[in-house]
Chains A and B, each alone.
Chain A
Amino acid sequence: MTASLLSLAIWLPIVGALLVLAIGSDKSPTPARALALVVALAGFLVTVPLYSGFDTATSAMQFVEHAPWIPSYNIAYHLGVDGISMLFILLNSFITLIVVIAGWKVIDKRVGQYMAAFLMMSGLMNGIFAAVDAMLFYVFFEASLIPMYLIIGVWGGPNRVYAAFKFFLYTLLGSLLMLIALLYLFLQAGGSFNILDWHALPLPLNAQILLFIGFLVAFAVKVPMWPVHTWLPDAHVEAPTGGSVVLASIMLKLGAYGFVRFSLPIAPDASHVLAPMMIALSLTAVVYIGFVALVQTDMKKLIAYSSISHMGFVTLGFFIFNQLGMEGALVQMISHGFVAGAMFLCVGVMYDRVHSRQIADYGGVVNTMPKFAAFFVFFAMANAGLPATSGFVGEFMVILGAVKFNFWTGFAAALTLILGAAYTLWMVKRVVFGAIGNDKVAKLTDLSGREFIFLAAMALCVLGMGLYPFPFTDVMHKSVDHLLRQVATGKL
């Protein structure tokens, strides 16, 4: 049973999605919803043993599955997880469950297709994190664009077509260049697509730099790093709530994960050579995008910019090459998955009632929605990096690591504590506090039971991770150690 856990995590949601499609009808959407919930729950449950059965004493791949897939090109159906990737599979399956609950009532047109798209995406993204074969990684990576494209385009806002195209084409550009890098590595490695083989493959510096750039284009777009971030605010604003949540919680992590899985271990020397550039780009994202977030009038756009800024922290953590920075970055990725997801859910809750995302259309929400306001303020605090929330742990670790690396880098990174607090809390102040802004706010009703459940679940995760991050850092410890040693040793 344990031997095929990863396959189950991938294919159970996908097969479930097909079933949901088959029974979905617009006249009676309830069966499709119920089935989607069952599938999402089952999909989450099969990933739990990944954590409970995980051996924290090794950095090797675990739960490995291996079967030939395309022998003509020596491509294998090769799955496995280490301490870095395992947590993301859990996070992904958990978020999918939340998204299904969040979309339960809100989506009333083409329900079956909506639920199926999310389930399918969940399976595909689990595939990305579990793939040990580079082509398998690539096909999952690119295929996951399709459901997201449809989610933004079908259930999105008024400018959805533009956003959907921008999202798809931007990401495709990056991944196509990566494809060439993968093909090059395949030939260099004497006909192997096994990522672990590539980690050990000696490469001259100039080849490493070209490869690094090939990967950088793909992953920088996905993270997104400044200056290729412009698709994200559009995609976030136009996507339905569920789409924004998955985009922020999981999809952005794919790029960062790519750095850890490909760029750093395959091109370690190039990583060192180009680290100053990467750090500069990351700090630009942290500081400059932080300022950009400050002036947003649209709540979703504000959170989108805040995401870019937080992801800048992640890439910063990777390229300062110490244990604190690397682990902090990974913790930050997971924490951001919870916090940004929860923030988008909160905006979704308000949007469903008022049908506006403009900050100016709100004011004094706490008077009519006290329970909601409590959650919203809590998540905003986490977004700003308040101690005892998960947002603090990652940021603090990265800043410590950055100071160890270079004082001024740490100093610039620490600016986010001020900026993040400024834009988040200022938004909260304008939306939640003060006198009741207008009639619409006066008529608001507080959280329904369903909304309470998904917000409470997210809040528990944020709080739990903030108070006791050990279970998260414990599993990644060995793998991070191994990775850092690979990067430090180099290939020259």
Chain B
Amino acid sequence: MNFVMPDFFPAAAEIFLLGMACVILLIDLVVGDSKRWLIAMLTQVTLVGCAAITVYTADGQVVLTFNNMFVDDLLADFLKLLVYVSVAVTLIYSRGYLVARALDKAEFYLLALFATLGMMVMISAAHFVTIYLGLELMSLSLYAMVALDRDSARATEAAMKYFVLGAMASGFLLYGMSMLYGATGTLEIGGVAQAIYNGVANEKVLVFGLVFIVSGLAFKLGLVPFHMWIPDVYQGAPTAVTLFIGSAPKLAAFAMTMRLLVYGMFEVAEQWQLMLMVMAVLSMALGNLAAIAQSNLKRMLAYSTISHMGYMLLGLISGVASGDKHFALNAYSAAMYYTVAYVMMSLGTFGTILLLSRAGFEAEHLDDFKGLNQRSPWFAAIMGILMFSMAGVPFFIGFFAKFSVLLAVVDTQNYWLAVTAVFFALIGAYYYLRVVKLMYFDAPTDTAPIKASLDMRLMLSANGLAVALLGIFPQTVMGLCSFALLRSL
């Protein structure tokens, strides 16, 4: 038996991040509480470094390494870059909130980095074990982050729920993977696809495993009926952590879904497509209907996430039905575009909650947004943009996200699905409009001045403007999504 040194180059960003995380861990031992900003700064530097490495190593080729366990393609590079941006923005938004609550510990930043590493591994996974490894690294970090505020009973409860349900989902996923291994004799995603294509896989075992895989994915994406953890975790976790959970992990979950279902099981697409379609409709329905009843903004956004993931699925399930490979790409890139757009809007929305929160006060109730237009017209406009964008009104990015997935659905001649989707979008518009109503039509109850650091203000403004500008000029991101996919399939 001879040991061949693997090619580390495609995984350079991951290795760099791991190294930096260890360095930060050590630095934290020596710096005092007064120098905590240094940790935050180093974390950002790490992310910038990762981005530089990812850009540098991106060559547009599909490169497999570590015995075909790890893949570096344009899809991975693109999604990783988005993850870095999303995590960096999250950390900027979170800092003031964490400082005000004495949660500004190095653990937060380190857990965020490890979670990021987990996402990167998930995104680049070409093997079931790699997927599982990345998923667990991310999930365990997130569980700990939710529980970071040890004295909060609500946060602890949320962490417990998240952990128990998340562990169960991981179990489902593992069980499904073992079934697939039984059916195809390999754990490599490419190998699984090949085995199914060649017809050597046992059909019954394969579909049996697929059911578990889809259930596990649905847990992670938060799709009905596997959505139960989302509202509780979103509401219970400190808002900074909710922001983290609600943004970058969606990109990783999207990548995982792509790798498992599209790359691994394209040949049995008709099977998972049907399951996902049912879940998409249920998610759009339940997410939008339940969100109306919420008075807590974080919980409302949790339900809104569920519905948005339902819309994202519309793209995923439309990729194959037409049978045209070129169009399949278009549908997947629509789903990817939707995810990217959602992450952007989600960042901004939770960012605004963080902006309005201060020491001893969480601006998480809908009523806390009353009269925001009188307190700060600028940030009311930013939040207004985000809400209209989430509701899918042009000229904002959310509209073109909905547009592209709907077009994919209409192309499969599934008109009733399209009508259902727009029907629930209409219902969804109601609760987004309600936030606008509170900000613009009502008088403020809370007149405290808005205090936030300059970097947060600038970032949030940039975030809101990006949602508007990328809605006026949607081509850039749309084009990048389809280009990345085109070069990676």
Contacts and interface: CB of A to CB of B under 8 A. Distances in A.
Contact of A180 (B388, B399, B418, B441): B418
A19 interface: no
B19 interface: no
Given A172-B426, A173-B426, A180-B419, A153 B437 contact: yes
A164 B475 contact: no
B429 A154 contact: no
A187 B411 contact: yes
Contacts of A72: 475, 478-479, 482
Interface in A68-115: 69-73, 110, 113
Interface string A149-161: 1100110000011
Name the 4 nearest CB pairs between A and B, nearest first.
A139-B394, A176-B422, A183-B410, A153-B441
B403 A179 contact: yes
B440 A146 contact: no
A187 B475 CA distance: 19
7 contacts: A73-B403, A150-B440, A153-B440, A169-B430, A172-B426, A176-B426, A177-B419
Contacts of B410: 180, 183-184, 187
Contacts of B9: none
- A interface, over-half SS: helix
A168 B433 contact: yes
A172 B393 CA distance: 9
A69 B441 contact: no
Interface string B421-440: 01101100110010011001
B472 to A, nearest CB: 9
B425 A176 contact: yes
A165 B423 CA distance: 16
Given A149-B433, A176-B422, A139 B407 contact: no
Contacts of B403: 73, 135, 179, 183
A392 interface: no
Contacts of A176: 422-423, 425-426
Contact of B422 (A139, A153, A177): A177
A130 to B, nearest CB: 16
Contacts of B475: 69-72
Best-surrounded residue of B388, B394, B437, B478 (most CB of chain A within 10 A): B394
Interface in A105-140: 110, 113, 135, 138-140
Interface residues of B, number: 33
Interface in B349-401: 373, 377, 388, 393-395, 399-400
A140 B399 CA distance: 12
A140 B377 CA distance: 24
Q: Name, among B377, B393, B395, the residue most crowded by chain A CB atoms within 10 Å (CB to CB).
A: B393
A113 B429 contact: no
A35 B479 CA distance: 39
B130 interface: no
Contact of A139 (B377, B395, B426): B395
B407 A183 contact: yes
Nearest to B391: A172
B8 interface: no
A143 B395 contact: yes
A70 B395 CA distance: 13
Interface in B46-66: none
A144 B394 CA distance: 9
A145 interface: yes
Nearest to B337: A72
B195 interface: no
A142 interface: yes
Interface in A178-192: 179-180, 183-184, 186-187
B430 A146 contact: no
Interface string A394-436: 0000000000000000000000000000000000000000000
B37 interface: no
Contacts of B399: 139, 142
B91 interface: no
B392 to A, nearest CB: 8
Contacts of A71: 475, 479
Given A142-B393, A143-B394, A183-B407, A165 B433 contact: yes
Contact of A164 (B395, B441, B482): B441
B97 to A, nearest CB: 29
A110 B436 CA distance: 16
A169 B393 contact: no
Contact of A113 (B377, B388, B404, B418): B377
B449 to A, nearest CB: 17
Interface of A: 21, 69-73, 110, 113, 135, 138-140, 142-143, 145-146, 149-150, 153-154, 160-161, 164-165, 168-169, 172-173, 176-177, 179-180, 183-184, 186-187
A180 B414 CA distance: 11
B474 interface: yes
A372 B416 CA distance: 55
B407 A146 contact: no
Contact of B429 (A138, A143, A168): A168
Given A154-B440, A161-B441, A180 B426 contact: no
A140 B406 CA distance: 19
B415 interface: yes
A180 B406 contact: yes
Nearest to A156: B441
Interface in B242-298: none
A139 B403 CA distance: 11
Nearest to B434: A165
A154 B394 contact: no
A179 to B, nearest CB: 7
Contacts of A110: 373
Nearest to A178: B422
Contacts of B393: 142-143, 145-146, 172
Max count, chain B CB within 10 A of own CB: residue among A161, A179, A186: A179
Contacts of A186: 407
A472 B170 CA distance: 70
Given A149-B433, A186-B407, 19 more contacts: A72-B478, A72-B482, A73-B407, A113-B373, A135-B403, A139-B399, A140-B394, A142-B394, A143-B393, A145-B393, A154-B373, A154-B440, A161-B441, A172-B426, A173-B426, A183-B407, A183-B410, A184-B410, A187-B410
Among the interface residues B388, B399, B425, B437, which one has the most CB atoms of the partner chain A within 10 A? B437
Given A169-B429, A177-B419, A183 B394 contact: no
Residue of B399, B406, B423, B426 with most chain A CB atoms under a 10 A cut-off: B426
B437 A164 contact: yes
Contacts of B429: 168-169, 172
Nearest to B330: A72
A70 B478 contact: yes
Contacts of B479: 71-72
Contacts of A165: 430, 433, 437
Contacts of B422: 176-177, 179-180
A184 B433 CA distance: 28
Contacts of B377: 21, 113
Contacts of A164: 437, 441
Interface string B65-77: 0000000000000
A68 B436 CA distance: 33
A160 B430 CA distance: 15
Nearest to B422: A176
Contacts of A173: 426
B107 to A, nearest CB: 43
B460 to A, nearest CB: 18
A274 to B, nearest CB: 19
Contacts of B388: 146
A143 B419 CA distance: 21
Given A143-B395, A154-B441, A179-B422, A73 B404 contact: yes
Interface in B435-467: 436-437, 440-441
Contact of B426 (A135, A153, A160, A169): A169
A115 to B, nearest CB: 14
A201 to B, nearest CB: 16
